Amino acid sequence: MTKADWTWSDRLSLKHDLMDETHQEFVALCAALSLDEPATFLSRLDALIEHSIEHFAQEDAWMRDNSFPPAGCHQGEHDAVLQVMQEVKRRYAAGEHDLGTSLAEELPLWFEHHVATMDNMLAQFLISNEISVSKLPDEKIELV
């Protein structure tokens, strides 16, 4: 799989409509990082960071509000990957463009593993406990 060809597929589906919809958006924004257009890399990364903040805040709220047992570990992954994205943004803006390429290559690998493990457990917890969730209202999302 080349990262430029990385797209949504059934192997990423968790059979949870809202999570799958959010993950499809993440995949599209993440795949866009692989475009060979250095002049627009930061704007594409900004779009991914903005989406990720909302995406992760939504999942974090579901876990907190429903006493999801491994919430701390799951949220820790969210926090760590956001920190990496923001550090790459800072350093890319300072001229370290190779970090943009590395992020575009590694982030899909992280995401596929995260979906298969952390998000799969969350989706199964929500489904098996018949917990209905919804998107967070915009005013509840704190941008970092």
130-141 confidence digits (pLDDT tens): 999 988 776 555
CB 64 within 8 A of CB 138: no
pTM across the whole model: 0.90
- Distance CA(54)–CA(34), nearest Å, equals 22
- Distance CA(45)–CA(68), nearest Å, equals 30
Note whether residue 3 is domain-resident: no
pLDDT score for 1: 37
Domain that includes residue 79, residue range: 16-130
Note whether residue 63 is domain-resident: yes
Note whether residue 64 is domain-resident: yes
- Distance CA(75)–CA(80), nearest Å, equals 9
* Residues 35-47: tens digit of each pLDDT: 999 999 999 999 9
